[in-house]
Amino acid sequence: MTEHTLKVAGVAVDTRHWIGGERVASAGTFTDVSPIDGTVLGEIARGGPAEAAAAVAAAKSAFPGWAATPRAERARLLHAIADGVEKRIEELAIVETTDNGALLRSHRRGVMPRVAHNFRFFADWSLKLDHEDFETRGHTNHVSWDPAGPSVLITPWNAPLMLSTWKVAPALAAGNTVVLKPAEWTPLTASLLADIAAEAGLPAGVLNVVQGYGAEIGDALTSHPDVRRISFTGSVPTARRIAASAAPHLTPVSLELGGKSPLLVFADADLDLAVDLAVEQYDNAGQVCLAATRILVEGSVAEEFTRRFVDKTTRLQQGDPRDEATDIGPNIHPRQLEKIDGFVQRALTAGARAVIGGHPKDGQYYAPTLLTDVAQDSEIVQEEVFGPVLTLQTFADEDEAVRLANGTRFGLAATVATGDPERAERVSAQLVAGTVWINCFFVRDLQAPFGGSRHSGVGREGGTWSFDFYCDLKNTVTAPKGWKDHG
């Protein structure tokens, strides 16, 4: 063990940046704290403009060689990274849970296997990326995806490693080099990813990981003239700052932002299924951008729906996320907990009623909350809370349901519960959302486009859409004659 190494649940984690294939310390540090019990995990290297410049320089230097590497070899290395992830699933799971407070059982069974799948999927997709040639007046058009260049990837704290690799994997598969900046509240698994990538044989400088605050290192990364792509998942205010920072160099950005998604429950729905879908919105202590936090229920079944919802919610176990029996863990940070409670208390003051919850618990835990008697134009209905707080409104018919569902500035996702397939088709066609789930929730396929409408984002990633973003698309037009005889 060295002064730059932490032991987190028995796992060694290097606290320094990973730049150009080497560990790099900073003069300053920031403190990483576990949301589970407030334990200080350690001091993390706190980067700034110098580290940003060094990381981009390393990515720029490594880019020509990586871009020229055949797709098949890039894919082989991504599969090797996936192998490394799978060998360390238990370590990654316990470190991530300790760092961000999400359920250990979820990390073990779903999240970390998905991390490996991210690498395997985009590695394989890159090999079949193709567009059939087509003719124009006898000329042949050939479409190709050329690597764009160094890419800055800025990721959130609610699903740190999964959302990081959702960006890292396609960027690398496309032939880009990467500078990854994880959220300062959850930096640890990004450091482990750097180790895994190096052990897999990824060339130095192809993946760089830098840590620190957005205002100190993030701005230096997004404004750098040598950066050719920026992908960000997080809040609308930060996205505005990133877009402004990228604008002088016309650096393309992909932004996956907040949500205030609706769950529409019609009277003809399977009510038990609808209740299950609603209770599922408390997953990860409500810290899910896709969460359907606005429950819209047809008036004739609202009372019965609410009764069943309350009955099911009160059986949820809230506590230490390392316990297999726990259903809801802590919120990420005291500042976030204060923000959540501020939303709730202002709503209660304005006349909302807490059917359940409505208050914090010990430590960084917030009671699962359902608020009714809320106006459509109220803050609690219009703004993203990002905690275990749902609202319930009623509607009389399809038109009102759609109007309420579309009545925010967001458009990330929507969920519809109905027993009528024709209604499902009608309603989903009218909803403003990047993803619509019908009688299900959180079913994600990496080949599908993912992103938001309105203030929920710019662009789509997933499948070929990821390569469309991380590459410069080129069309090569060849004349049918003009060749010299080389025989």
Q: What is the pLDDT of residues 87-137, one digit of tens each?
A: 999 999 999 999 999 999 999 999 999 999 999 999 999 999 999 999 999
Instruction: Give me the residues paired with residue 152 across strands.
Output: 179, 230
Q: Are residues 149 and 208 in the same domain?
A: yes
Q: Are residues 126 and 197 in the same domain?
A: yes
pLDDT tier at 485 (50, 70, 90 boundaries)? confident
Q: Are residues 80 and 100 in the same domain?
A: yes
Domain presence at residue 414: yes
pLDDT tier at 329 (50, 70, 90 boundaries)? very high
Q: Provide the total of helices (H) and of strands (E) in the chain, helices listed first.
A: 16, 22
pLDDT tens digits for range 365-393: 999 999 999 999 999 999 999 999 999 99
Burial degree of 335 (CB within 10 A; 0-12, 13-18, 19+): exposed
Q: Are residues 216 and 306 in the same domain?
A: no
The pLDDT of residue 484: 84
Separation between Cα atoms, residue 335 and residue 339, nearest integer Å? 6
Separation between Cα atoms, residue 365 and residue 341, nearest integer Å? 11
Mean pLDDT, the chain, as a whole number?
A: 96
pLDDT tens digits for range 9-18: 999 999 999 9
CA torsion, points 170, 176, 179, 180, in degrees to nearest 10?
0
Tell me if 346 sits within 8 A of 303, measured CB to CB. no
Q: Are residues 267 and 247 in the same domain?
A: no
pLDDT tens digits for range 63-90: 999 999 999 999 999 999 999 999 999 9
Separation between Cα atoms, residue 153 and residue 218, nearest integer Å? 10
The active-site residue, picked from 91, 96, 256, 298, is: 256
- Contact residues for 128 (Cβ-Cβ < 8 A; gap 6+): none
Tell me if 243 sits within 8 A of 255, measured CB to CB. yes
pLDDT tens digits for range 238-259: 999 999 999 999 999 999 999 9
The active-site residue, picked from 289, 384, 461, 471, is: 289
Separation between Cα atoms, residue 92 and residue 83, nearest integer Å? 13
Give catalytic status of residue 461 as yes or no.
Answer: no
Domain presence at residue 274: yes
Domain presence at residue 186: yes
The arithmetic mean of pLDDT across residues 343-361, rounded, is: 97
Strand 29-33 relative to strand 40-45, pairing: antiparallel
Burial degree of 270 (CB within 10 A; 0-12, 13-18, 19+): middle
Domain presence at residue 74: yes
Give catalytic status of residue 289 as yes or no.
Answer: yes
The arithmetic mean of pLDDT across residues 398-411, rounded, is: 98
Q: Is pLDDT above 60 for 1?
A: no
The pLDDT of residue 481: 86
The arithmetic mean of pLDDT across residues 425-434, rounded, is: 97
How many CB atoms within 10 Å of residue 16? 23
The pLDDT of residue 159: 94
Q: Are residues 15 and 121 in the same domain?
A: yes
Domain presence at residue 371: yes
Domain span at 61:
5-257+452-475
Q: Are residues 38 and 176 in the same domain?
A: yes
Q: Are residues 414 and 297 in the same domain?
A: yes
Domain presence at residue 487: no
pLDDT tens digits for range 180-199: 999 999 999 999 999 999 99
Q: Where are the alpha helices (DSSP H) in 314-407?
A: 334-349, 379-382, 398-405
pLDDT tier at 487 (50, 70, 90 boundaries)? low
Domain presence at residue 312: yes
Q: Are residues 145 and 17 in the same domain?
A: yes
Q: What is the CATH number of the domain that holds 373?
A: 3.40.309.10
- Contact residues for 395 (Cβ-Cβ < 8 A; gap 6+): 264, 296, 297, 298, 299, 401, 404
How many CB atoms within 10 Å of residue 71? 16
CA 210 vs. chain centroid, Å, equals 18
195 token code pair: 């180790």
Q: Is pLDDT above 80 for 6?
A: yes
The arithmetic mean of pLDDT across residues 262-270, rounded, is: 98
Q: What is the CATH number of the domain that holds 132?
A: 3.40.605.10
Domain presence at residue 447: no
Tell me if 13 sits within 8 A of 6, measured CB to CB. yes
212 token code pair: 């620190």
Q: Are residues 406 and 311 in the same domain?
A: yes
Number of domains in the chain: 2
Q: Are residues 390 and 243 in the same domain?
A: no
Q: What percent of the chain has pLDDT over 70?
A: 99
The pLDDT of residue 483: 84
Q: Are residues 27 and 175 in the same domain?
A: yes
